[in-house]
Structure 1
Amino acid sequence: MRVIALVRPIGRAVDWVPLLVAGAAAIALAALAAPGERVGSGLALLLLRATAVLLGTAAGFALVDPLDEETEAAPAPRWVRQWLRAALALLAVAGAGAVVALVLSWRVAGVVPVPLAGMALCALTGPAGAALVVRALPGRVGGLAGGVALAVLCVVDPWDVAHLWWPVPLAILAYTLR
C-alpha cells in the first residue's frame, strides 16, 4: 500500500471550503486591522491567536468523510485515510498561519514572538475534537466538534501555558485516528 498514491484522491475528497474561508478571513484580518498604521504588538498577538482558532476550527472539517460508512471496499484502512486527511489539513493550516505571520511581520511596530506552541495547540485541538465525534456522528456535525473544543479551550485561556499542553490533542488524535 502506497500512501503517496492516496494523496490525490483524498485531497480531492477533503472539503476545503472551511479551510479556504478561515484562511482568507485570517489573512484579511491581519491585512486590514488598523488600516493605514502600524500594528501594535498586542493587536498582532491577538490576531495570531484568532488565526489559530479560526484555522483550528476549520481543520476539524477536513476529517469529515461522508462516504466513510458507505464505502465497504476502501483502498486503504480508515486510519490511513483519516491520518492523511489530518496531515493535509494541518499543512494547509501551517501555510495560512505562515502567511498571516508574514503579513503581520510587515505591519507590526516592533518585534512580536509568534506563539508557535499556542498556534499548534489550536491547530491540533480542532481536528482532535472532530476526531472524537466524527465516528459517532458522521457529517458536518462531527466537524463542528472541533469548534466546540476550541471554544472550551479559549474560555479556559491557556495562552500563558500553551507550550505545555499541545501534546494532549496530539495524543487524542493518535488515539482516535487509529
Structure 2
Amino acid sequence: MSVRVRQTLLLAAPVIRIVPWVPVAAATVVSVLTLLPALTGAPAPASQIWGVRIAAVVLGAGASFALVDPMAPLSVTPTPRWLRQWLRVAVVLVPITAVWAGLYLAAAASLDSARLPSRDLTVEAAVCGLTGLAGAAVAARSGHSLTLAVAGPAAQGGLMVATLFLPAGFSAWPLPDSPQWERVHDWWLPMLPVLVVSLVLANRELWPWRRRKPALVDARDLVRAR
C-alpha cells in the first residue's frame, strides 16, 4: 500500500468528524422542502425541473463550507495540502450527490421519464454544485475562517444573476420543450472542466510566502470545528 493511500485512509475519519455537517444537513432539508410541493401536487414538468435545479444550488452551497479548514494553522501533519483539500471535497461530495440523485429519481418517478432529461439535468447540477465548491476553495487559499466559505454561495449567486434574467431566446435555464434546450446544454458541458481545473488550482499547496505568513484564526471557528 502506497504512502499516499495510507495517509488518505488515516485522514478520512478525522476529516469526516471535522467537516461542518450542519450546513450540509440544512441544505438537504431545504432541498427536500423545495421539491416537496412539486412531488405532492399535480404533475408539472416545470415544477420538478426547477425543484431539482434549486436543490443542486442549495446542496452545493451547503457543501462549500467543507472547503475551509479553520484548524489548518494549528495542525502539524506530513500530508500535503492538496491531499487534505481533495479529501474534504470527496467526503462532502458523496452525500450531496446521493441526496440530489434521490431527489431527481423522486421527481422523475412522478412524471414520464422522457420529460425529465437525466443527462442534461445532471450536467446542470454538477455545474451548480461545483461552482460553490470552487468558489469556497479559492477563498480558502487566503485564510482559515469559516466565513470565507460564503464565497461558495456568492459564486453561485453570481452565476444565477448572470444567467437567470437573460432574454428568453438566450436563457441558460430553458425547459425541455424549448427549442433552445439542446443548444444551451452544449454550453453547459464545457463549464465542467473549467470548474474542475479551478478546483485543482485552488487545492494546490500555498505559495511559500503564504505559508510563512502568520495565520489569524477566529477562536469561535475553532470551537465550531470541534
Q: For 1:124-139, list aligned pairs within 5 A.
A: 124-139=130-145
Q: Which residue does 1:106 correspond to in 2?
A: 109
Is 1:91 matched up with 2:97? Answer: no
The equivalent of 2:67 in structure 1 is 63
Greater shift in the superposed pair: 29-38 or 100-109: 29-38
Report SS of the residue matched to 1:138: coil
Instruction: Measure, in 2, the Cα distance between the counterparts of 1:156 and 1:74.
Output: 41
Cα drift, residue 77 of structure 1: 1.8
Counterpart-to-counterpart distance in 1, 2:139 and 2:66: 13
Letter in 1 for 2:24: L
Matched, 1:177 2:209: no
2:32 corresponds to? 27
Match in the other structure for 1:162: 188
Number of corresponding residues: 176
Q: Does 1:47 align with 2:73?
A: no
Aligned partners of 1:47 and 1:36: how far apart in 2? 13
Q: Judging changes above 3 Å, is the alpha-carbon distance between structure 1 residues 48 and 176 closer, same or farther for their aligned structure 2 residues? A: same
Q: State whether residues 27 and 96 of structure 1, in contact with CA within 8 Å, keep that contact through their aligned partners in structure 2.
A: no
1:16 corresponding residue in structure 2: 21
Offset at 1:107?
A: 2.4
Question: What CA distance in whole angstroms lies between the structure 2 residues aligned with 1:135 and 1:101?
Answer: 33
Greater Rg by CA: 2
The 8 Å contact of residues 67 and 140 in structure 2, kept in 1 or not, is answered as: yes
Contact map agreement 1:27 1:100 (CA 8 A) in 2: yes
Gaps of 5+ in 2: 164-171, 174-183, 205-226
Conserved? CA contact 2:39–2:110, under 8 Å? no
1:109 positional shift: 5.5
Shift of 1:137: 3.2
Q: Secondary structure at the match of 1:33?
A: helix
What code does the residue aligned with 1:123 have? G
Scaled by the length of structure 1, what TM-score is found? Answer: 0.91
Task: Give secondary structure in 2 for the equivalent of 1:136.
Answer: coil
Q: Aligned equivalents of 1:68 and 1:59: distance in 2?
A: 18
Aligned Cα root-mean-square deviation (Å): 1.7
Cα deviations by residue, 1:71-127 (Å, 9 ceiling, x for unpaired): 2x1252221111000111111221110111122123236631131111111111111
Q: CA deviation at 1:16?
A: 0.8
The structure whose RCO (Cα within 8 Å, separation 6+) is larger is: 1
C-alpha separation between the residues in 1 aligned to 2:130 and 2:103? 18
Asked whether the equivalents of residues 27 and 99 of structure 1 are also in contact (C-alpha less than 8 Å), the reply is no
What is the deviation of 1:128?
0.4
**Cα distance, 1:164 vs structure 2:** 2.1
* 2:152 is the alignment partner of 1:146: yes
